Chain A
Amino acid sequence: MEMLVYLIPASLFLGGVGLLAFLWALRSRQFEDPEGDGQRFLSDDWDKRPKP
């Protein structure tokens, strides 16, 4: 049972990282165009060289 002292904070920390990642995604407007982003992935326009 002593393991709980480490495990609970560890699991809360990992969950918190997930939450922060979500908040970051939200703030950097990654939910503006979900459909377009899903489709853009399929386009091969800039596969050879990066978009200028």
Chain B
Amino acid sequence: MSASSLSACPACVAAPSAEAIAGARAEKASGIVLSLPTAHCAACISDVERELMRVPGVRSARVNLTLKRVSVEAGPEATPALLVERLGRIGYEAHELDPGLLSVTETDRRGRDLLMRLGVAGFAMMNVMLLSVAVWSGAEAATRDLFHWISAAIALPTLVFAGQPFFSSAWASLKARRLGMDVPISLALILSSAISLYETIEGGEHAYFDAAVSLCFFLLAGRYLDYRSRAAARSAAEELAALEVPRAVRIGADGDETVAIADLRAGELVRVKPGARMPVDGIVTEGASEIDRSLLTGETLPVRVSHGTAVSAGEVNLTGPLVVRVTAAGKDSSLHRMADLVAVAESARNRYTSLADRMARGYSPSVHILALASFIGWMIQSGGDVRLAVNVASAVLIITCPCALALAVPAVVTAASGRLFRRGLLIKDGTALERLAEVDTVVFDKTGTLTMGTPRPVALEQHAEADLRLAAALASGSAHPLSASLSSALAELGIAAAEVADLREVPGEGMEATFAGRRVRLGRADWTGAEARDATATYLDAGDGKPARAFVFADRLRPGAAAAVAALKAGGKRVVLLSGDSAAPVEDMARTLGIEEWRAMVRPEEKAAHVAALTAAGARVLMVGDGLNDTAALAGAHVSISPASALDAARVASDIVLLGQDLLPIADAARLAVTARRRIKQNFALSLAYNVVAVPIALAGLATPLIAALAMSTSSITVSLNALRLR
């Protein structure tokens, strides 16, 4: 990202490897950490802390608004699930984070180290600049020498201390026989302080202590900003990895115990409660239920499972409790095999070279050549005056030093990602913004991305009131997502439940009760004697001899979905909808949102192939998806976004994660990315313009320390201000 750290790949830093995650998970965690994506104000802090302190067992709770997290110290009676529920009740979305994964200490220490060097350099710069003002305004003889000596006493120790990051990285790149950006920087720092010290001893007129120290300060500022945005990306990645705390209930010799998924072995039995996600691949040995495969296939219709059915990790158990015999856990499970697909697709994308890299590739050698040329030129011109030639060469090095260039990208990226974070978007990869700016085609997944993934009953008014009242009574007794949704929709309509007796749930089938002496049922088609429809539905058998009535469900649109699609289209982007779901709901969705191009029943490989075909046709694709079936397409696209509710494989594969439920920030991000790229280019142009003016002066041997200091500070400050204009 910054011109001075070219070799590092931000993705490698941001996305922790699977091994690292597994290793960290093994560590024992202390305290509870919750992520609070919607917290943003003083009232939020008080609300959250007050509410948490009311929970019995909580000893302390402290919100960190910068990271949007709250850390809680609590006894065993306050479980994370309880805290999340309490916060949900007062209107704050919260997710549990795995504190073992949030190992911030190391990155923390490095950040504070850089900040300390920056502070020392800033202090030295102020003092040396003040002393220099006296020299520039015409101090002479003994006074000038005294001021030079004091400057040297401040500047030299400062450079030794504050310049270390540059010296060590320059040394490392020299050992690897490369010329990174840090080599000319270190050369400029060492050469200018050496020649200034020599001039001071000789009682000469010009010393570059002020320029050397301010050079160091501005470069450190760029380095610190760069570090900050990388650290934010890294902590975001850690946060995402930590979002899903992987536990399973194992049926052991002495009863049920909750264990980490990593500890499960093939052949063991696990219990999966209704509403929970399958922790492993396995075979059902006990119980009957329905499972939701939409995260894996995009299909919204629940699938029936019973004894002997194979299930895979990531599917959601809907109705009844299941006992599953583990066939593959952790790295061997189908979820992880999918992640391998992602790795292949990602290697193709890592070939992207950022703007800063392209800039630095030409810049670094030309700096050396210019300085060397001016040294040789002045040696010939002056007939072998080494002192003069070294003076000119170091002035050239100082002026060409990529100070503003080092600030150009980090300042913009920091400003932009800060702004996007406030709108609920986490930028995981440093170059994601640049790539997002190039996008001209947006591919959406349907289930879970454009929709909430939670079905709502439709056309309830078509049913007779007696049926609705009966349905309300039956649905109220079950925690099945369809029942819960039906029950709340009916309550909203003001339908009172009928009086029924013997209400009971038949796992995997539905609800059954006695109403006016008749047996009534609400549940699966074949169980209620109805003909199954080509849609998500539940069926009511009123026991009156008439055929069962179907309650059809449709998925709800995510808030902001229509607005986001409209804004993207208004921005001149081609919008495509690819879904694994059947044709009817996909066409319906496409029509509602005004998307002309859509394809249904798309298999995961086909999604990736479609994205690849678009790319081959010259389009730059932004893929927005959440499921396992989108993962390969996410990784293969030019840039990708997934919602926080996505499977963790999908989140790992994507560059940007949407923290809230609203989709509108995607359109904002696309717009902001274009502006950010324009700012980066402007910044390059600005810093080059300064060089174009100042380098000839330096080559002509006319650059005084005053000119060097002015050129450097004004260019750095204009570049930073330009970055802050970003809206």
Contact = CB atoms under 8 A, between A and B. Distances in A.
Contacts of B67: 33
- Interface centre among B41, B43, B119, by most chain A C-beta atoms within 10 angstroms, is B119
Interface stretch (B58-66, B424-432, B517-525, B556-564): B58-66
Contacts of B63: 36
Q: What band does the interface of chain A fall in when counting residues whose beta carbon is under 8 Å from B?
A: 20 to 34
A10 interface: no
Given A26-B116, A26-B119, A36 B46 contact: no
A40 B45 contact: yes
B43 A33 contact: no
Contact of A11 (B41, B42, B130): B130
Given A26-B115, A33-B67, A12 B45 contact: no
B260 interface: no
B65 A31 contact: no
B126 interface: yes
Given A15-B123, A18-B123, A35 B66 contact: yes
Interface in B693-707: none
Interface string B37-78: 000011101100010000000000001111100000000000
Contacts of B45: 36, 39-40, 43
A33 B65 contact: yes
B120 interface: yes
A39 B130 contact: no
B66 A36 contact: yes
Contacts of B65: 33, 35-36, 39
A27 to B, nearest CB: 8
B116 A12 contact: no
B150 A42 contact: no
Interface residues of A, dominant DSSP: helix
Given A43-B43, A45-B46, A19 B120 contact: yes
Nearest to B134: A4
Interface string B123-141: 1001100110000000000
Given A1-B143, A15-B126, A23 B42 contact: no
Contacts of B43: 43
Interface string B98-136: 000000000000001001100110010011001100000
Contact of B46 (A31, A34, A43): A43
**Interface size range on B against A:** 20 to 34
A16 B120 CA distance: 10
A27 B109 CA distance: 10
Question: Max chain A CB contacts within 10 Å: which of B41, B42, B112?
Answer: B42
Contacts of A8: 131, 150
A33 B66 contact: yes
B518 to A, nearest CB: 59
Contacts of B123: 15-16, 18-19, 22
Interface in B547-594: none
Nearest to A27: B112
A33 B127 CA distance: 30
B127 A12 contact: yes
Contacts of B42: 39-43
A31 B42 CA distance: 18
A36 B41 CA distance: 8
Given A32-B64, A43-B46, A45-B46, A23 B116 contact: yes
Contacts of B146: 4
A11 B128 CA distance: 11
A31 to B, nearest CB: 7
Contacts of A26: 112, 115-116, 119
A6 to B, nearest CB: 14
Contacts of B116: 23, 26
Contacts of B143: 1, 4
A20 to B, nearest CB: 10
A31 B115 contact: yes
A10 B262 CA distance: 63
B35 to A, nearest CB: 15
Contacts of B46: 43, 45
Contacts of B126: 15
Nearest to B154: A12
B71 to A, nearest CB: 11
Contacts of A16: 123
B54 to A, nearest CB: 14
Contacts of A43: 42-43, 45-46
A41 B65 CA distance: 13
Contacts of A40: 42, 45
A51 to B, nearest CB: 10
A12 B124 CA distance: 10
A32 to B, nearest CB: 7
Nearest to A18: B123
A37 to B, nearest CB: 8
B64 A36 contact: yes
Nearest to A37: B65
A35 B418 CA distance: 12
A47 to B, nearest CB: 12
B64 A39 contact: no
Nearest to B39: A36
Contact of B41 (A27, A32, A39, A41): A39
A28 to B, nearest CB: 11
Closest 5 CB pairs of A and B: A36-B65, A39-B42, A42-B42, A19-B123, A33-B64
Given A26-B115, A40-B45, 14 more contacts: A1-B143, A4-B146, A11-B130, A22-B119, A22-B123, A26-B112, A26-B119, A31-B115, A33-B64, A33-B65, A35-B65, A39-B41, A40-B42, A43-B43
Interface of B: 41-43, 45-46, 50, 63-67, 112, 115-116, 119-120, 123, 126-127, 130-131, 143, 146, 150, 154
15 contacts: A15-B123, A19-B120, A19-B123, A31-B112, A31-B115, A32-B64, A34-B66, A36-B63, A39-B42, A39-B45, A40-B42, A43-B42, A43-B43, A43-B46, A45-B50
